[in-house]
Structure formats: structure tokens, C-alpha cells
Amino acid sequence: MRKTPALPSRYRAMWLFAMFDLPVVEAHQKKAYTKFRKALLASGFEMLQYSVYGRFCPSEESAETYRRRLRALLPEEGQVRLLRVTDRKFAGMEVYTEGKQGEAESEPQQLLLF
């Protein structure tokens, strides 16, 4: 009998955030900003707010892979912060838009292949 793979625990699954302040005064700075932002998007990060991007990772090992990848792409100027938060904690986030409460992003639906 084939065993169905277990879904990731909400305590084990992570959200990885990249928060950054990068200078965009000179042309080379704008180019570095654009390159970093495009790398985030290509890696599956979504913009949550200006200069705050997040990505769901099914495990801490997966989050570490993306952290390593981002560290290799860091621009020479500015500041970047990487933060890991469990899916359980992320689900408790309160979101307000124009003074009205909304909902935080949910865990992406993933296809299980056997």
C-alpha cells in the first residue's frame, strides 16, 4: 500500500521575508536594485509591501536554501534583512488596508506528485 506524503507542519513550514532599503539615486544603484528585486521575484518571492517580499518555504531546510541564494545576490550598497517566521506565527498576522482589516496571504496551494 502506497503511503501518502505528510503535509508540512505549520510549525515546521516557514515564511522567509526579505526586507530592504537600497539606494536608487545613481544609475548603477537603480540597476542593482532592479537586479535584486527581479532575483527575488524569480525565486518565488511576492511583494507584501514596498521593499518587503515574502516566500513560503515548506521546511527550514528550504528556507535556508533560499537564504543562501539571496546572500549570494546581495547588492553592494544598502541594507537587506532576512527573517524566518513559522507559518503558524504568520497566520496570526493582522493586516489593515485603508483602515479596514483584511487577511494575510495564505499558504500557497501545492501540487503533490506521486
* Cell numbers describing residue 86: 513559522
Biggest CA pair distance of the chain:
62
Domains and CATH numbers, the chain: 14-88 (3.30.70.240)
Number of CB atoms found within 10 A of residue 62's CB: 16
User: C-alpha grid cell for residue 6?
Assistant: 505528510
* pLDDT tops 60 at residue 1: no
pLDDT per position as a tens digit, 54-96: 999 999 999 999 999 999 999 999 999 999 999 889 888 888 9
Q: How far apart are CA 72 and CA 82, in angstroms?
A: 13
